[in-house]
Chain A
Amino acid sequence: MTAAAKSGHPGGSLSAADILSALYFRVMRVDPARPDWPDRDRFVLSKGHGAPALYAALAERGYFPVEELKTLRRLHSRLQGHPDMRKTPGVEASTGSLGQGLSMANGMALAGRLDGRDWRVYVLLGDGECEEGQVWEAAMAAAHYRLDSVTAFLDHNGLQIDGPIEKVMSPNPLPEKWRAFGWHVVEIDGHDFAQILEAVEEAKKTKGRPTMIVARTIKGRGVSFMENEANWHGQAPSPEQAEQALRELGKGGAGR
C-alpha cells in the first residue's frame, strides 16, 4: 500500500498489524455491513500514522473493497494519510495528531455507560506517543471514571521518528507508569495471537478499572530490512523492496 502511495508509515503499521487482525477478526463485535450499528464495539487508532494497517484490516473484514487499498493517500481517496472518520467506513475517530485517541475513547465509553449499553472501546497507542502529556491526562481520567469498558493496547516497539525512545525522550518504564495511574496492566508479546486474545479476555473480566495491554512489538515486523529500523518509520518502500517485503510476509495479491 505505502509503495503504491509512494509515502506513508510502514514500520509502525507492521508492528500493530497482528493486534489489529486479532481485534477485527476475533475480538470485536462489529458488522461491516452496518458501520454505524449503535451497539458495535469501537476501535480508535490513536497512533493515526498506522492507518495502512487499519485500512487493511477494515478491507479484509469487508468494510470496503480490498482493491481500494491502492488508493491510499491519493487525491480524493476515502483512504486519507491519517484516519478520517468522515471519509472511511469503519473508522471511528479522526486521528493523526498524536496523544488524543485515548481521550476520545474515554468519551465514547462514558457515552456508552450513560446509555446503559455493553459495547466496548479498544484503542491503540504508540510508545513514543506516550510522551504527550494528554495521554496521561486521559490515563488519569479513565481510571478516575472506572472505565472498565476501555481496553488499550500499547504498541511498545521501542522506536519513534528520531530514534530509540530511550534516546529521544524516554517514557519508560511504561507498564509501571500505567499501573501507577490506576490501570490494570497486562504484558504480552504483541505478535503472539494466543497472548493477545488471552489478554483481551482478562480485560473483559477486569471490573472497576481500565486495562492496558502492553504489547512488546517489533517495528517493521516481518520484513527483514525494516525490522527495528527507525528509518522505516515514515518512508515508503520502492517497488522492488515492496515485492521482497510481501514475499517475506508470505502474501502476494493486489494492492497490498
Chain B
Amino acid sequence: MKYLIKLQDGAKKVATRDAYGEALAELGRENPNVVALDADLSKSTKTAVFGKAFPERFFNMGIAEANLMATAAGLAAAGKVPFASTFAVFATGRAFDQVRNSICYPRLNVKIGASHAGLTVGEDGGSHQSVEDIALMRVLPNMTVLVPADGTETRAAVRAAAALNGPVYLRLGRAGVPTLFNPDYGFRVGEAVILREGRDVSLFACGVMVAEALRAADELAAEGLEAEVVNVSTLKPFDSRTVADSARKTGAAVSAEEHSIIGGLGGAVAECLGEHAPVPLVRVGLRDTFGESGTPDELLKAYGLTAADIVRSAKEAVQRKGK
C-alpha cells in the first residue's frame, strides 16, 4: 500500500495511549460485547476512559497481570471481546505464559493494549522500559502484532483489532508523537505502507521511529540520497512482499525501532531479506542493552534512536552495496 506524506513541522502531538483510550470507548459504544480489563494502571493506559463510560463492562484486576490475561481469555471464550491493558513490560513479560497458553494456543479473541512501551517511558527507568516485547509477542503462533506510528493509526488499529477474530498485541507509547496521517488513512492489518518513494535505500520503521525515518529521508535527500520510507506497523503477519520488493529496488536497507535490534522489526526485516532479497541491512534500535532513567528525548539520543542515527545507518548501508 502507498500513502505518500511529508512530515509537517509543528504537527499536533498525541500519545498513542491517549488515542487508544478514546478509540476503545468509542468501540464500546458501538459494540456491547467489548469489555476492558486493567491491572491498576487504568489512568496511565487510558482504559479509565472506557471504565468511566461503561463501568459495568470494565474490570480492574488489581496488580495481578497473570490473572488479568487469563481472565481476559475466559471472557473471550464466552463470547466477549476483551481489551486487556497494562504496561508493555508486564503484559508481555510478567504474563507471558498466560498469553501463550491461555490466549494464543487456543486462539482466543483477546486484544492486549500494552502502553508505555520502549524507552520513551522515560524516568521510571530500565525496569519499566520494554525493549523486548515485540520479540516476545512476534514469536507466538496465532498472535497479530501491531505497532501504530501515531494517534490516527492507533484509532484505526484498535478498530481493525476488534474486527479481527483472534489474539492481537497493540504496542502503545507514553509520550506524545507527531500526527502523521489524515483520517482518510486506510490502515489494513498485514500491509506495510510506503510513505515516501526512493531508489537509493529503504528505511523500514515502526512506532515512534516512523517520524524519525521521515525526518532522516529529508536529510538524506539534501545530501542527494533518495530514501524510501516504509511504515511497518504490522509486525505480524509480516508484509514480506512489500519489504522485499522495496529492498530489491533500492539495494540497501535500514530498520528503525524503539526496541532491541534482536527479535523485533530489525529481526523480522533481517529474516525477510535473508530469505527473499539479500541486501546490506543496518539495524537501528537498542543494541542488546536495557534502558535507564532519563527524559524520553535524552534516552532516544543516548541509545542511538534519532533521525541522525538513521541517516548515518542509511549511508553505511548504501556504501556496502555490491560489496
The residues of A with any CB-CB pair to B shorter than 8 Å are: 5-8, 48, 73-77, 79-82, 84, 94-99, 128-129, 131-133, 160-162, 165, 168-169, 171
Contacts and interface: CB of A to CB of B under 8 A. Distances in A.
Nearest to B48: A162
Interface residues of B, number: 32
A79, A94, A96: most-surrounded residue (chain B CB, <10 A): A96
Contacts of A160: 40, 62-63
B123 A81 contact: yes
Contacts of A169: 40, 60-64
B302 A75 contact: yes
A81 B128 contact: yes
Interface stretch (B9-17, B181-189, B257-265, B290-298): B290-298
A76 B318 CA distance: 34
15 contacts: A6-B123, A7-B123, A48-B127, A74-B294, A76-B294, A80-B127, A81-B293, A82-B125, A82-B128, A96-B127, A96-B128, A97-B90, A97-B93, A133-B67, A162-B41
Contacts of B250: none
The 7 closest A-B pairs by CB, nearest first: A169-B62, A96-B127, A75-B294, A81-B125, A131-B62, A73-B123, A80-B125
Given A80-B292, A80-B293, 5 more contacts: A75-B292, A95-B127, A97-B93, A98-B63, A169-B61
A132 B40 contact: no
B40 A77 contact: no
Contacts of B90: 97
A137 to B, nearest CB: 11
Contact of B60 (A76, A79, A162): A162
Nearest to A51: B125
B63 A129 contact: yes
Contact of B125 (A84, A99, A129, A161): A84
B60 A168 contact: yes
Contacts of A74: 293-294
B29 interface: no
